Structure 1
Amino acid sequence: MELIVLWDIDHTLIENAGVSKEIYAAAFSSLAGHEPSGPARTEGRTDRLIMRDMFLREGLPVPKWSVIEDALTRAGHDRLGDLRSRGTALPGVHEVLKAASARNGWVSSVLTGNIAANARVKLSVFGLDSLLDLPVGAYGADAELRPGLVAVARERMRRLRGVPADVPAVLVGDTPRDVEAALATGSGMLAVASGVHSSEELAAAGAHEILPGLSDTRRVLGILESFRGA
C-alpha cells in the first residue's frame, strides 16, 4: 500500500444542514427527559466529547457511553429522511472519492467524530458509502480526542488490509482539530475551507495545503499524491 487517505465527513464531504445538531439534541432529550438549553458544540470534536459536554453543561450526570451511543444511533436513524431532504454531498465529492478509490495502492476511508452508525447514515444517504473502505475507518466512539483516531484507523488497516506501519497517511478535513490531529500524528493534511473555518484560520492552525473545497478532482489528487512517500 502506498497511501492512506482519511476523510472527515461533515462539512468536508457533506453539508448536513443542521441535522447533526438535531441528532445530538434528540439523543440528549431521550436520556435527560428534557431538551438541552443550547445546541451541541461540535467543530471537529468526537461524539464522546460532544455528548459529555452537553450533560455537564446541564449539570447532569453523564450516562454510560453504551447508553449514549444507543441514543445517538436511534436519533441518527430517525433523521435519515431529514438529512436526505435538507442535506447534500458537497461539490466534487463523488468524483474525488471515486478517483481515490480507484488509485492502486491507496486505502481511502474516514476519520470522523461521528459514531460509526451515524457516519454510515450520512454517507449512504448521498451514495458515498460504497466509495470508501468504511470497516478500516475511525469513528467517534473509538477515542475521545481526534489524534487518537489516527492510530485506530492505522491498526484496523494493518489488521484487516495488511497495510504496513510505514505507509504515509493524509487527513482531509475542514477544522483546526483535523489539522491538530494530522500534526500530532505526523500525518499529511489537506484542509478544506468548506465549513465554518476560513482558509486563514486553517493556516493559523498549521495547515500548509488548503483548498476552498473538493470540486477540482485533479488538484485534490495531486495534493494527496504529494504526500505519498513523504
Structure 2
Amino acid sequence: MELIVLWDIDHTLIENAGLSKEIYAAAFSSLAGRGPSEPARTEGRTDRLIMRDMFLREGLLVPDWSDIEATLARAGHDRLGDLRLRGTALPGVQEVLKAADARSGWLSSVLTGNIAANAHVKLSAFGLDALLDLAVGAYGADAELRPELVAVARERIQRLRGVPADVPVVLVGDTPRDVEAALGTGSGIVAVASGVHSPAELAAAGAHEILPDLSDTRRVLGILESFAGHAKRPRTSSDRPRTR
C-alpha cells in the first residue's frame, strides 16, 4: 500500500522553545533597523505571511522576499546551537519517523511554514533530517497559504520520485491550519494536540483523528495505514471526531 505522509515541524515533531519567534524578530530587526513592537504571529502560517504581517503591523514597506528569505536563513543558522540546548524532539517522534521511513511504499516528508533552510536547521538539531525525504517537501517560501503547499509537495514527489498522482496524502500537524489544508485538498489529516491548540479546537476545525502527541508509534502507524492504498472517503456530518 502506497502513502505520502507530510509532517509539520514546530510543535508536531519538535519543541522549538520560543526560538522561532526569536528568528523572526532577528530577521525583522536586521531588515528594519529596529526590533518589532510585538512578537510574530505564527499559528501554522507560512514564513511569507508571518514576515509580511510583521512589517505591515509596524507600518513599514515589506522588503523583497529574496532579502527576507536570506535574512531568515542567517538568523536560523545562527541559532542552531541554542536550539540544540533549549529545544527537543517531541515524545515518540524518532520512533514514529523511523517506522514510517521503513514502510515499503511510503514516502515521508514535510509540509511546513518554515523556509527550507530553517526546516533543515530545526530537524538536523535533533537528528530527524535523515529520517525524512526533505528534497520533496513543501516549505514556507513555496506559497503563501498552507493548502497551496500540498500541491507543491505532490508535484515534487511525482517529478522527483515517480510516485503516481493518485497516491493518498496524509498531513500530520498541530494547528487548525494543518487541518484546513488537508480538508481543502482532499488529503487525510492526523491532528496532534502537542502545540497550543486543544483537541476541541482541532475537532472544531474538522479533524477526525486527534492524538495527544506522537508517542504511541503503533497507534500512529495504525491511523496512517487506514489512509494507505485508497482515496480518503468524504466525511459526513454524522461522523464524530475521535480523540485518542
Same-fold call, TM cutoff 0.5:
yes
2:73 corresponds to 1:66: no
Show the counterpart of 2:241: none
SS at match of 2:171: strand
Show the counterpart of 1:138: 138
Amino acid corresponding to residue 114 of structure 2 in structure 1: N
Show the counterpart of 1:168: 168
Which blocks of at least 5 consecutive residues in structure 2 are unaligned? Answer: 232-244
Identical-pair percentage: 87
CA distance in 2, matches of 1:68, 1:185: 28
SS at match of 1:195: coil
CA distance in 1, matches of 2:204, 2:82: 35
TM-score normalized with structure 2 length: 0.94
Question: 4+ residue stretches of structure 1 with deviation over 4 A?
Answer: none
Show the counterpart of 1:151: 151
CA distance in 2, matches of 1:210, 1:20: 25
Question: What does the per-residue CA deviation read over 1:51-101, in whole Å, with 9 as the maximum and x for residues that have no partner?
Answer: 000000000000000000000000000111111100000000000000000
Amino acid corresponding to residue 127 of structure 2 in structure 1: G
Aligned length: 230
SS at match of 1:185: coil
CA RMSD of aligned residues (A): 0.6
SS at match of 2:61: coil
Show the counterpart of 1:57: 57
CA distance in 1, matches of 2:32, 2:144: 22
Amino acid corresponding to residue 161 of structure 1 in structure 2: R
CA distance in 2, matches of 1:40, 1:171: 24
Amino acid corresponding to residue 7 of structure 2 in structure 1: W
SS at match of 1:85: helix
CA distance in 2, matches of 1:46, 1:155: 19
2:183 corresponds to 1:183: yes
2:113 corresponds to 1:113: yes
Amino acid corresponding to residue 92 of structure 1 in structure 2: G
TM-score normalized with structure 1 length: 0.99
CA distance in 1, matches of 2:20, 2:180: 22
CA distance in 2, matches of 1:163, 1:55: 40
Show the counterpart of 1:33: 33
Deviation at 1:205, TM superposition (A): 0.2
Which blocks of at least 5 consecutive residues in structure 1 are unaligned? Answer: none
